[in-house]
Structures are given as structure tokens and as C-alpha cells.
């Protein structure tokens, strides 16, 4: 996989539309290419900005004038095309004005990461790509990350308390390659994203986004984010076990 290959597949990769083989090849390339990691981070940041920008529909009077002008000057097919373009232009222009007039639309760093880990959790389930390495043996999963990351993630099997390790994969979050460890609780999947901590303090506040619960903590220089649709009590039990 080359930088040119990554550039060609950038949009499908960010949108999780690549097949498993291509996605794994791109992740391996990203682990050693800072320039491509930055391109991916920039594209993800743009997506977050678009999703968080407020939407304001155009006034009825403006839409009426546009619609009338289009009907008079274009054929039916071209009318539909230009009407869609005009509506999009008005919506984007309005969003840009709001962004400029209020400074900028920014999520806090923690909120942005929460959104990323939840989105990645959902995509991993929808795309059926939970694993690059599928194993219940922590001594198999942990060595698999060697050479693929610039850190060694802690890997613990919690099968004895009902949270078995089932595998892992490479991901790209918070502007860098990270480890994703996959655990199971009956029919519930738990993703734990791990990378070197940059936080000065540990935050254990539980957050809920679209029905998914997120726990965050730091341990031994690592930042860990657990996300699942598991109930709060069981996810707390799981997180506490990993913090010991």
C-alpha cells in the first residue's frame, strides 16, 4: 500500500466502505506514514465539523423566488438539479455565516473523542469488521500489535468474571493509530480503544451517546475508552476490572 493508494481510497476508508483486506492494508500503512495519518485526521475533522454545524433552512420567501426562477428558465430535469443545488448552497452558506459570526463550531477534545469512539464502535458492528486478530488468548492478541503501533497496549482477559477477550484490531482515532481490544458479554460487544495518554488527569465520567455508554480512564500511561450498549452497571464492573 502506497501513499497514492491511500489517497485514492481515503473517502471510502474514512466512511468505512473499504473491504476488510483494503482497510487492514491502509491501517498498516498509516502506522508508519505520518503524512497519510494527517490526511486521514484532516478528513475526519472535516466530517465532524459538517456534522456539528447547525442547520438553518432558507426562508420560505427565498425558496419561493429560487423555485420560480428555476421553473421559468430550465427544463424539468434541469430544474430539479438546480433546485437541489440552490437549496444546498443556501444551507451551506447559512452554516458558514453562523460559524463565522459565532467564532467557530468546536467540540471539546473529550466530546470529540467520545463521538469518534462511538462512531467507530457502531461502524465496526455494521461493517462486520471487529477483528484483525481473532483470539481469546491475551498472549496471542498482545504480540500481534508489535510493529504495528509505537506502543504496547495492555491486554487482559476477563473471562473469569464473564467478559472474555475475543480479539483485536488496528484503528485510527484522535489523530493517531490506536489499538482496539474486543470483549464480549453474552450478546453484547465491548470495544476498548487504547493509546498513550496525553491527559494530565484521569476522567472516569460515564457518557451516553445514541444509546451507547462510554467509560474513560487512564492507567500506566495509557488512555482507555470502553464503549458498548451494555447496561451501565455491567460496563462499570468491566471498567473497574480493567483498572485493577
Mean pLDDT score, 120-129: 83
Provide the pLDDT for residue 87: 61
Percentage of residues in the chain having pLDDT higher than 90: 39
> Do residue 85 and residue 176 come from a single domain?
no
**What value does the mean pLDDT of the chain take?**
80
pTM for the structure as a whole: 0.60
Q: Report how many domains make up the chain.
A: 2
* CB neighbour list of residue 130: distance below 8 Å, 6 or more residues apart: 124, 166, 167, 169, 182, 189, 191
Residue 219 CA to residue 29 CA, distance in Å, equals 28
Asked if residue 30 is part of any domain, the answer here is no
Residue 204 has pLDDT above 90, yes or no: no
**Residue 71: CB atoms within 10 Å:** 11
User: Which of 48-52, 192-196, 236-240 has the least mean pLDDT?
Assistant: 48-52
135 pLDDT tier (thresholds 50, 70, 90): very high
Residue 180 CA to residue 239 CA, distance in Å, equals 15
Contact 184, 207 (CB under 8 A): no
99 pLDDT tier (thresholds 50, 70, 90): very low
Residue 242 CA to residue 86 CA, distance in Å, equals 52
Output the domain CATH number for residue 122.
3.30.200.100
Match 493509530 to its residue by C-alpha cell: 177
Torsion of the alpha carbons at 65, 66, 68 and 73, rounded to the nearest 10: 140
Provide the pLDDT for residue 10: 81
Asked if residue 137 is part of any domain, the answer here is yes
User: CB burial class (10 A; 0-12, 13-18, 19+) of residue 209?
Assistant: middle
End-of-domain residue from the set 85, 101, 117: 101
Asked if residue 196 is part of any domain, the answer here is yes
Domain of 83, in residue numbers: 60-101
End-of-domain residue from the set 101, 121, 156: 101
pLDDT tens digits along 58-68: 666 666 666 66
34 three-class SS: helix
Provide the pLDDT for residue 13: 83
94 pLDDT tier (thresholds 50, 70, 90): low
DSSP of 160-183: GGTB-EEEEEEEEETTEEEEEEEE
Residue 157 has pLDDT above 60, yes or no: yes
Provide the pLDDT for residue 155: 97
Contact 116, 176 (CB under 8 A): no
Asked if residue 65 is part of any domain, the answer here is yes
Rg (CA), the chain: 22
* CB neighbour list of residue 74: distance below 8 Å, 6 or more residues apart: 82
> Do residue 138 and residue 179 come from a single domain?
yes
Provide the pLDDT for residue 102: 40
> Do residue 151 and residue 82 come from a single domain?
no
Residue 83 has pLDDT above 60, yes or no: no
Amino acid at each position: 500500500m502506497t501513499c497514492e493508494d491511500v489517497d485514492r481510497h481515503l473517502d471510502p476508508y474514512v466512511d468505512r466502505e473499504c473491504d476488510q483486506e483494503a482497510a487492514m492494508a491502509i491501517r498498516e500503512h498509516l502506522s508508519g506514514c505520518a503524512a497519510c495519518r494527517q490526511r486521514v485526521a484532516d478528513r475526519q475533522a472535516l466530517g465532524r465539523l459538517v456534522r456539528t454545524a447547525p442547520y438553518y433552512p432558507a426562508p420560505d420567501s427565498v425558496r419561493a423566488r429560487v423555485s420560480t426562477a428555476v421553473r421559468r428558465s430550465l427544463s424539468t430535469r434541469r430544474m430539479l438539479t438546480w433546485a437541489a443545488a440552490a437549496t444546498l448552497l443556501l444551507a451551506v452558506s447559512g452554516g458558514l455565516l453562523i460559524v463565522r459570526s459565532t467564532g467557530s463550531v468546536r467540540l471539546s477534545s473529550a466530546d470529540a473523542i467520545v463521538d469518534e469512539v462511538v462512531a467507530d464502535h457502531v461502524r465496526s458492528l455494521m461493517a462486520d469488521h471487529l477483528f484483525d486478530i481473532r483470539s481469546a488468548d491475551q498472549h496471542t492478541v498482545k504480540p500481534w500489535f508489535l510493529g504495528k503501533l509505537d506502543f504496547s497496549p495492555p491486554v487482559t482477559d476477563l473471562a473469569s468474571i464473564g467478559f472474555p477477550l475475543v480479539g483485536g484490531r488496528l484503528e485510527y482515532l484522535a489523530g493517531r493509530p490506536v489499538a482496539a481490544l474486543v470483549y464480549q458479554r453474552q450478546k453484547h460487544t465491548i470495544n476498548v480503544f487504547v493509546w498513550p495518554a496525553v491527559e494530565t488527569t484521569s476522567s472516569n465520567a460515564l457518557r451516553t451517546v445514541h444509546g451507547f455508554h462510554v467509560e474513560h480512564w487512564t492507567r500506566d500511561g495509557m488512555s482507555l475508552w470502553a464503549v458498548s450498549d451494555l447496561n451501565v452497571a455491567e460496563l462499570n464492573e468491566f471498567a473497574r476490572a480493567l483498572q485493577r
